[in-house]
Amino acid sequence: MDTAARRTVVRDSLGVAIATGTYGLSFGAVGVASGLDVAQTCALSLLMFTGASQFALAGVLGSGGTPVAGALTALLLGTRNTLYGLRLAPLLGYRGWRRFTTAHLLIDESTAMAVTRPTRELSRTGFLTTGATIFVLWNLTTLAGAVAGEQLGDPRDLGLDAAVGAAFLALLWPRLTTPLTRLVAGLAALVAAGAVTVTPAGVPVLVAAGVAVLVGALTARSGDPEPDEEVPT
């Protein structure tokens, strides 16, 4: 492997990992603000390890939703990792216990740092460096944030009850890079806002997800050729 290329991948991966891993401080504080204790908050980072799903679960619980609604919301957001896995499995080429172990590091950032590499070895370097570094930092900063948040008392006194929404928006905003994604986000927000008044906590997120499914189906259909249209070869 080209040593210079490997150093570049490691450097880029560490930059992304450090910036992302320290954000676990926010989840630690949000977790205890939502009613979880320090151990439960840390367990989510250790076992679930996917930021959007963790924030979603904490948000549902913090707003009075049931654990089932929170789990379903987290699962819905986590389904994207399955698609990442389909792309990375042949790219990384891991087998047996290595595939099982590395699957836990399959997140947005580790995927992004792997798929753009020209060789399998560089893809593995980017994936493992990013995923492992974020995992360690995320769990350490989650603990720090949870301990600090638990010492603050009632989170509503400091406005921390709004932290889940703010944190989730911060995760979402950088991904709204096209008119279509902005349209989906806007429509989903309107649907969720309307559902809040008539559905239990946690359900509005699930209902709003239907917007993405509908837009995706309509977009795919509009991209298909008409029955009598010749398909270029």
Other C-beta atoms lying within 10 Å of the C-beta of residue 80: 15
**Residue 232: is its pLDDT beyond 50?**
no
Q: Of 19, 18, 40, whose CA–CA distance to 31 is shortest?
A: 40
Q: Of 65, 33, 28, 26, whose CA–CA distance to 155 is shortest?
A: 33
Q: What is the pLDDT of residue 56?
A: 84
Q: What is the pLDDT of residue 231?
A: 35
Higher per-residue pLDDT: 115 or 143:
143
Q: What's the length of the chain?
A: 233
Instruction: Average the pLDDT over 213-220 and give the result.
Output: 76
The tokens describing 113, both together, are 């740092």
pLDDT in tens, 32-64: 888 899 999 999 999 999 888 898 888 888 878
Mark residue 203 as left, alpha or beta (left: phi above 0; alpha: psi -120 to 50; beta: remaining). Answer: alpha
Instruction: Average the pLDDT over 73-100 and give the result.
Output: 88
The sign one gets for the Cα dihedral 127, 52, 85, 183 is negative
**Residue 207: is its pLDDT beyond 80?**
no
Alpha-carbon span 12 to 87, nearest angstrom: 21
The tokens describing 202, both together, are 């946690």
Q: What is the pLDDT of residue 226?
A: 43
pLDDT in tens, 118-159: 899 999 999 999 999 999 999 999 999 899 877 765 555 655
Question: Phi first, then psi: what are they for 105, rounded to 5°?
Answer: -95, 10
Q: What is the pLDDT of residue 72?
A: 86
**Residue 228: is its pLDDT beyond 50?**
no
